[in-house]
Structure 1
């Protein structure tokens, strides 16, 4: 099995655990909880959970020295990848069923091909047009989901929610790719778990500020919100994120395979649909929405096929997995 295929399988497994973000966020916000505490507590619980796992992955390794040498890069891209991802995604949880939010987040498939010319300076700088074309098929499926859910009409609040999720869909891979690129340039051997821990830690100045403002304006979180946030932290903040970062590290020098790994998050739609219907009483997507789901699944399959045919560039110093 090729490295790209193994990375895609890891990404699919991570998508299953990522799906808990939509389901538990929806349960928290739908139950009257403040979305601010939902996202703040997710990252509050994520840090100690990661700390418990670090001894089994070689400890912190080179991470402390790396953070001391390059604090600006880590603070900047951790804020982009985690804060600018978590806030809009959680805020949008009240806009519709979990499968609708998961479908909108599938816009991340366009992030890789569109961002590549702006963040790379080597052979990866080119636009992968075939990957972009497949991404457009998935986006068409997303639009079908949105159109069907709104019965052909989206009000202003719904459009704002869609925009927030799409923004998050670009922020997450941008922060991840820029930290990967920074480590590649500095030659620092930081593993996936250490990278997630470092980015979570460096996102905390923003979370502390938001926590102070939220406590002052809304009050403390409820026990129910805290428990649901802990579930999101474990499933999404730790398991899913580490698996996803591991997958992106495996194919960091293969632009199409990297886009394919990111595109596997579109599978969250399928997982969110089943979980939302089973546990939250949400309705199955029907009619145009069902066809949209089919388009997203076909797009996932096409991305996998394209990445399997991609030639792996030989790059001196590529550390691999």
Structure 2
């Protein structure tokens, strides 16, 4: 049994649980009239001092700053894609469509990382693992089934805009993360998950300040409620979930099958969102196609975990 891969999958599942809160809190901010630019930028503006404190307590800021000074271009580029493009699109989608649609669309991350692999790597990692990819497609099919009852007669124009934005977000997140891992590998630098999240958050600040200025020009200062909601997202998703996810991907960065499986665990967010709705919001228990789709997603995630945990020979890091 590949214990490293299995533990990485468990970490990814834990990260997905904390990521799930993003959709509900962002949609609540949008319904309350909060501008999407503030929703996006506040998460990272609040996250940065928290991460700086955590990294400082562990004495790990110096290696990050040294790496950023040595090669500022990659840090700016990959944080711009993996953090800024990812979350701007996700926040704009929350402003345009319901949270269930945003959560469902983002589950394309189940296969996004595997599809991107040939574009990123020139070694064994550039191969799309056929079994994991096939199970990933089945999992995506389960996500689609879960949404059939909600789509009803079709989506309005705002819904299609939201779906397009969230699909961009689903590819931007694994792309930025994988490119940063690859950059550090080529430079021979070893940074922890917390250090990488801190460094990418810091590198993304120039763009986040631009987004914040845009939000101020368009809607003025954010409300206290939006600040609190963004603070909740910052702690749950920006710190806890992101660090767990980066730790998981870092552990299996040289194993294409396990890396794809770890990224695919984000598909569990839709299951977590459904269960939270039943347990906390008195929403009805899933039935019909929604229940069938949920079972398919659950089986798909279990299959990916099993495939990733199989022992195999891996390329040396």
With over 3 angstroms needed to count, the CA separation of the structure-2 counterparts of 1:284 and 1:34, relative to structure 1, is farther
Partner of 1:124 in structure 2? 125
Partner of 2:272 in structure 1? 271
Partner of 1:224 in structure 2? 225
Q: Residues of 1 paired with 2:152 and 2:285: CA distance?
A: 14
1:99-114 paired onto structure 2 within 5 Å: 99-114=100-115
Report deviation, 1:226: 0.2
Partner of 2:137 in structure 1? 136
With over 3 angstroms needed to count, the CA separation of the structure-2 counterparts of 1:278 and 1:29, relative to structure 1, is farther
Q: Residues of 2 paired with 1:206 and 1:95: CA distance?
A: 22
Q: Residues of 1 paired with 2:281 and 2:168: CA distance?
A: 26
- 3-state SS in 1 of match to 2:302: helix
Give the RMSD, CA atoms, in angstroms.
1.8
With over 3 angstroms needed to count, the CA separation of the structure-2 counterparts of 1:5 and 1:57, relative to structure 1, is farther
1:45-124 paired onto structure 2 within 5 Å: 45-95=46-96, 97-124=98-125
Q: Residues of 2 paired with 1:280 and 1:13: CA distance?
A: 21
Q: Residues of 2 paired with 1:259 and 1:30: CA distance?
A: 34
- TM-superposition CA deviations, 1:284-313 (whole Å, max 9, x none): 543222222222111111110111125141
Q: Residues of 2 paired with 1:243 and 1:19: CA distance?
A: 14
Report deviation, 1:314: 4.2
The question of whether the paired residues in 2 share the 8 Å contact of 1:98 and 1:273 is answered with: no
The question of whether the paired residues in 2 share the 8 Å contact of 1:97 and 1:282 is answered with: no
Residue 252 of structure 2 corresponds to residue 251 of structure 1: yes
1:1-321 paired onto structure 2 within 5 Å: 2-95=3-96, 97-279=98-280, 284-315=285-316, 318=317
The question of whether the paired residues in 2 share the 8 Å contact of 1:81 and 1:171 is answered with: yes
With over 3 angstroms needed to count, the CA separation of the structure-2 counterparts of 1:158 and 1:96, relative to structure 1, is closer
Q: How many residues align?
A: 316
Report deviation, 1:30: 2.1
Q: Residues of 2 paired with 1:271 and 1:217: CA distance?
A: 34
Between stretches 272-281 and 101-110, larger displacement belongs to 272-281
The question of whether the paired residues in 2 share the 8 Å contact of 1:138 and 1:296 is answered with: yes
Report deviation, 1:56: 3.8
Q: Residues of 2 paired with 1:312 and 1:10: CA distance?
A: 22
- TM-superposition CA deviations, 1:106-157 (whole Å, max 9, x none): 1001112211111001111112121211111122122223332111422332
Report deviation, 1:105: 1.2
Please report the TM-score for the alignment, with normalisation by the length of structure 2.
Answer: 0.94
The question of whether the paired residues in 1 share the 8 Å contact of 2:12 and 2:266 is answered with: yes
Q: Residues of 2 paired with 1:58 and 1:226: CA distance?
A: 29
Q: Which runs of 5+ in 1 are unaligned?
A: none
Q: Residues of 2 paired with 1:278 and 1:218: CA distance?
A: 35
- 3-state SS in 1 of match to 2:108: helix
Please report the TM-score for the alignment, with normalisation by the length of structure 1.
Answer: 0.93
Report deviation, 1:282: 5.4
Report deviation, 1:82: 0.5
Q: Residues of 1 paired with 2:285 and 2:98: CA distance?
A: 10
The question of whether the paired residues in 1 share the 8 Å contact of 2:101 and 2:163 is answered with: no
